Amino acid sequence: MNFRPRHRDEPEINLIPFIDVLLVVLIFLMLSTTYSKFTELELTLPVADAELQRDRPKEIIVAVASDGRYAVNKQALDDRTMEAVASALSGAAAAGKDSVVIISADATAPHQSVVTVMEAARRAGLSQITFATQKSAGSR
């Protein structure tokens, strides 16, 4: 019987795989980090004096009510057809083809009513269309 104590080799911790994993994680973090300094854009916005531009002969304001009724430059239309809206737009276009159609639709107005105004403007030869909005109560 051999009662002599055996010399056991002490277990060694191999650090090379550990260092490799840490370097991969470090490279991943460096590449995926976003820097706010590079994502910011410094903009200088143009300034306009809105009080000076009150006379707008090129604008045609078309109001669309929540039930689909139309008004062109505050003149209510009795007929809701596309042809009636197109003829009203043609009559209100003081600047001709350079007139801008501003669609001021109620938030609950049917989508089809707004599309009808857009199609009527196209038929009247008016290609500049924009939409009127208002500020929300939360933004000032």
Residue ranges of the domains in the chain? 55-131
Residue 80 banded pLDDT, cuts 50, 70, 90: confident
50, 49, 76: which is closest to 62 by C-alpha?
76
Between 52 and 128, residue with greater pLDDT: 128
Q: Which residue has the higher pLDDT, 137 or 40?
A: 137
- 89 touches 101 (CB < 8 A): yes
In this model, does residue 130 exceed pLDDT 80? yes
Is the whole model's pTM more than 0.85, yes or no? no
The most confident of 1-5, 18-22, 50-54, 94-98, by mean pLDDT:
18-22
> Taking 70 as the threshold, does the pLDDT of residue 58 lie above it?
yes
Is the model more confident about 134 or about 32? Answer: 32
Cα-based angle 45, 51, 57 (whole degrees, multiple of 5): 100
pLDDT tens by residue, 102-125: 988 888 888 899 999 999 999 988
* 71 Cβ neighbours under 8 A, 6+ residues apart: 62, 63, 65, 77
Do 89 and 62 form a contact (C-beta atoms < 8 A)? Answer: yes
What pLDDT does 39 receive? 46
Q: What are the tens digits of pLDDT across the range 17-34?
A: 999 999 999 999 888 876
> Mean per-residue pLDDT for 25-49?
67
CATH classification for the domain delimited by 55-131, as one of 3.40.50.720, 3.40.120.10, 3.40.30.10, 3.30.420.270? 3.30.420.270
The pLDDT value recorded for residue 35 is 61
Between helices 82-92 and 111-123, what is the axis angle to 10°? 50
